[in-house]
Amino acid sequence: MKLFLIRHGEALPSSVDSDRPLSDRGVKQGETLAAILKEHHGFQRVKIYHSPKLRAEQTASIISKAFLSTPLLMSNELLPNSDPDIWYALLDSMEEDIVLVTHLPFIPALFELLAGENDDLTFPTASCLLLESSENGWALIRQDMP
């Protein structure tokens, strides 16, 4: 099983729009990441989950085009301060490839639970960590940063 752990694209500041939609740069970041994912991993079926925040939903929508316009599933357990143990347990019972579009500090917290490390990684907007599970646990395969 593969897990694509994606941070949403750059969003407008709350002083401009309290819903914090993607900025023009954030849309472009999402499109660039979608093209990278399509080139390396596209044309496969995945389940795409996103947080209820608008910037994550918009990024997930852009990313879904790389995966045959897969339907989007909203999860309240992908908010910035959600408990990563919940997804850790959920992933253990899933067999299909999963995309999670979420936020900081959730991403490094889940990554550390899965891979046992996060020392040298950064998580800029619209970045993606690709992890793969095996009998030996989760391993980082690649990181994409548009």
pLDDT in the model for residue 30 = 97
Give dist(CA 83, CA 24) in Å, integer: 30
pLDDT in the model for residue 134 = 87
Tokens 């619209």 belong to residue:
126
**How distant is the alpha carbon of residue 98 from its chain centre?**
9
If you count them, how many residues does the chain have? Answer: 146
pLDDT in the model for residue 119 = 67
**pLDDT at residue 116 above 70?**
yes
Task: Give the tens place of pLDDT for each residue, 24-78.
Answer: 999 999 999 999 998 887 667 789 999 999 999 999 999 998 888 788 999 999 9
Cβ count near 14 (within 10 Å): 9
The contacts of residue 60 (CB under 8 Å, 6+ apart) are 6, 48, 49, 50, 72, 99, 101
Classify domain 2-10+21-125 at the CATH superfamily level: Phosphoglycerate mutase-like (3.40.50.1240)
Domains of the chain by residue range? 2-10+21-125
Tokens 């970041």 belong to residue:
29
pTM over 0.75: yes
